[in-house]
Amino acid sequence: MWLIWLIVVLAMAIVEVLTTALVTIWFVAGGIGALIATLIGAPTWLQIVIFIVISAISLGIGWKYRDHLLMQRHKTPTNADRLIGQIGILEEGIDPLRSKGRLVIAGQSWRATTTDGTTVPPGTRVKIEALSGVKLVVSPCPDRSSNQPTVE
């Protein structure tokens, strides 16, 4: 029976390496538990129970963190990410109802929208909060004493 559990462990590990979806790796843990149970002389029914229980527990715990692990692995930083936190001046006022708003920053013209959907007049100093697709999400700066440099 130990050979069957070894094959299960190797097969699940190979599938995980080929798919990188963090699904079959949890069954590797169950297979290792069942393999250890076999080596210490546990009956077949207990080996199966150990495989199911360890696989279910590791799958439950792992699934909770799966999205976080995959997002970190696949996150590709872009040059646009460096704009977040910068201060700029609106070239064209933001009007969410008419899908208007433009900000020129670092020599590039970007469509802009606000974090809360408010209208902002042209010439207003804004802070870039996020990047949403091809739009910069901005918020008006309360005053000119911000310690961030203005990028135009």
pLDDT (mean) for 85-107: 86
**Bridging pattern class, strands 108-114 and 100-105:** antiparallel
Residue of 45, 27, 31 lying closest to 3 (CA atoms): 31
What dotted CATH number matches 79-140?
2.40.50.140
User: How do residues 108-128 score in pLDDT, each as one tens digit?
Assistant: 888 998 888 888 999 889 999
* Residue 31 pLDDT grade (very low, low, confident, very high; cuts 50, 70, 90): very high
Average pLDDT, the chain: 84
Q: For residue 92, what are the contacts with CB-CB under 8 A and spacing of at least 6?
A: 100, 101, 102, 122
Q: Is residue 60 very low, low, confident or very high in pLDDT (cuts 50, 70, 90)?
A: confident
- 62 touches 22 (CB < 8 A): yes
Domain ranges of the chain: 2-74, 79-140
